[in-house]
Amino acid sequence: MSELIEIFTDGACKGNPGPGGWGALLIYKGVEKELWGGEAETTNNRMELTAAIRALAELKRTCEVRLVTDSEYVMRGVQEWLPNWKKRGWKTAAKQPVKNADLWQQLDEQVNRHKVTWEWVRGHTGHAGNERADQLANRGVDEVRRSKHA
């Protein structure tokens, strides 16, 4: 397996729904790459998922990844809910369509390309990688808001 790539992801939303942003910090052999973006009308959960998808999609070949998120929604989705959603044809236990199924399917596709270890951290507690991802997500929000008012 190749060397470990560390990825820190975060999503942000001003209003839920509202303008949102996502951010990801990728670190490989001490080299950092920052990714961010945003959407005019979205939710925090969609931005959390987008951050993980875009970060993993950035990797051109199969990698060993440690992905750190402060989103319990993403963590629980990947580790607990996803296998059952797939078995049930993207329906919840209550037979309802899975919310954000489009993004969960993209995340599943990206995760299957790599060897991903997931790690949850509490947000806004001074964790350096998480704080950087948060800043990038907020940059995404700011850029969306600016372009709306341009």
- Maximum alpha-carbon separation in the chain: 47
Tokens 């059952």, located at residue: 84
Catalytic residue among 39, 124, 126, 127: 124
Q: Reading across the β-sheet that carries 115-120, which strands appear in turn?
A: 31-42, 18-28, 4-13, 64-69, 115-120
Two structure tokens written together for 95: 């037979």
> Is 131 marked active-site?
no
Catalytic residue among 37, 39, 134, 140: 134
Any binding-site annotation on 48? yes
> Is 134 marked active-site?
yes
> Is 10 marked active-site?
yes
Is residue 31 classed exposed, middle or buried when 0-12, 13-18 and 19+ CB atoms within 10 A define those classes?
Answer: exposed
Catalytic residue among 20, 37, 48, 114: 48
Catalytic residue among 10, 38, 77, 140: 10
Any binding-site annotation on 108? no
φ, ψ for residue 34, nearest 5 deg: -105, 135
> Is 37 marked active-site?
no
Any binding-site annotation on 10? yes
> Is 124 marked active-site?
yes
Any binding-site annotation on 134? yes
> Is 11 marked active-site?
yes
Residues annotated in the binding site, as ranges?
A: 10, 48, 70, 134
**Catalytic positions:** 10-11, 48, 70, 124, 134
Residues annotated in the binding site for Mg(2+), as ranges?
A: 10, 48, 70, 134
